[in-house]
Amino acid sequence: MALKSWVDSANRHTDFPLENLPYGVFRVGRRGHIGVAIGERILDLHGAFDDGLIAEEACTRETLNELMSRGREAALALRARLMELLADGAAERQKVARHLISRKEAEMLLPCAIGDYTDFYASIQHATNVGSMFRPDNPLLPNYKYVPIGYHGRASSIVISGTPFHRPLGQTRDDATAPPIYGPSKRLDYEMEVGLFIGRGNDLGETIPIDGAESHIFGLCLVNDWSARDIQTWEYQPLGPFLAKNFATTVSPWVVTLDALEPFRVAPYARAEDDPAPLPYLSFDGDRGINLMLEVSIKTPAMTEPMRVSRGNFREMYWTIAQLVAHHGSNGCNLRAGDLLASGTVSGAEKESRGCLLERTWRGTEPLELPNGDRRTFLEDGDEVIMRGWCEKDGLRIGFGECRGTVLPARA
């Protein structure tokens, strides 16, 4: 049975009931404040600390980095206190109410200073689909089932949901007999991903054992890893993604803790009988998957309402979040509080569950038919992409909110 809050909007159909309490950074005045979402409101944790309601001084900072660095245990203790303050019948209700503001009045900021950003390739369906387009005889490379593949992205171009961005410029070559040209990307794409923020880090040279990997995760968010497919095709060999990926990456503003997601744990992806077992440092027991629904919609300038173009589930990922963290630290790489790790495109076996246009339109050969008669193979200027994510079970819904971004024309 769902818990009840004295904040009425938290008891309705909402992404942010009392059982969620995701962390974010918002601004109403000049400074950013840390807050938690509760229904249609935000509880200002800076104000709550100043009023003696909570004891965690890290909540007075302008980013979540210090709170993240204190580890999952500190966040769990704070979460328990916040649930006590916001639960129906709370003794200090009137005092807490002074620090609630409307989410509509707040400007959301990046939740933390992101020092490093790594993007993985953890969906075997996505990897197989993309591989079959470019290597039909050998779609999945032999290392995929042994090692979580990833690349280091650009932290400086990560933006918060709602931030528009310009179509990137770059080198492309459609004609194999001619030199490349430089200009705006013509095959701009989105990628539906899940991100995880590192909480407590590890020292340089220290590995992260798989059994303790999730203790290094502060929480999850939604990620749109915008991709220029034509630039990527030309530049990605031999060293992988570069300018095709680092012009913009959008993240949702609210960080949902693993503790809020525990009721939605499921068995990890079922590997084929002839698949190799993970190497010992990546092997684990238990239900480490997450039953997280993910949805992508597109709204063009000519449309009055967005159209859903895909719906998938994070439980379909070949590599779990614990395996991504353990592998990242397996060579002694030092992860730090606020580092962002993204899953890579989340795609399932069905066409409707493919998490990017490259797959959804099969490299542009199967255009999307939009309600107003328009068609899309890749994104055009003015298009807005809206991503949503949620877990739902036995009447309880834990949501991630939205991850939005709009394509502006390329700069001259």
Nearest to 249 by CA among 140, 370, 405: 405
Q: Give the contacts of 170 (CB within 8 A, at least 6 positions apart).
A: 182, 183, 185, 228, 230, 231, 234, 235, 243, 244
Residues in a beta bridge with 41: 38, 102
The DSSP symbol for 283 reads -
| Phi, psi of 393, rounded to the nearest 5 degrees | -165, 130
* Catalytic residue (choose from 46, 99, 126, 216): 126
Q: Which amino acid is at 411?
A: R
Catalytic residue check, 328: no
Q: Which residues of 316-333 are buried (b: 16+ CB within 10 A; e: fewer)?
A: bbbbbbbbbbbbbbbeeb
Q: At which residue do the structure tokens 């990628």 appear? A: 191
| Ramachandran class of 78: left when φ > 0, alpha when ψ lies in -120 to 50, beta otherwise | alpha
Count of helices and strands (H, E) across the chain:
9, 25
Q: Which residues of 265-297 are buried (b: 16+ CB within 10 A; e: fewer)?
A: beebbeeeeeeeebeeebebeeebbbbbbbbbb
d(CA 308, CA 260) in angstroms, rounded, equals 27
Catalytic residue set: 126
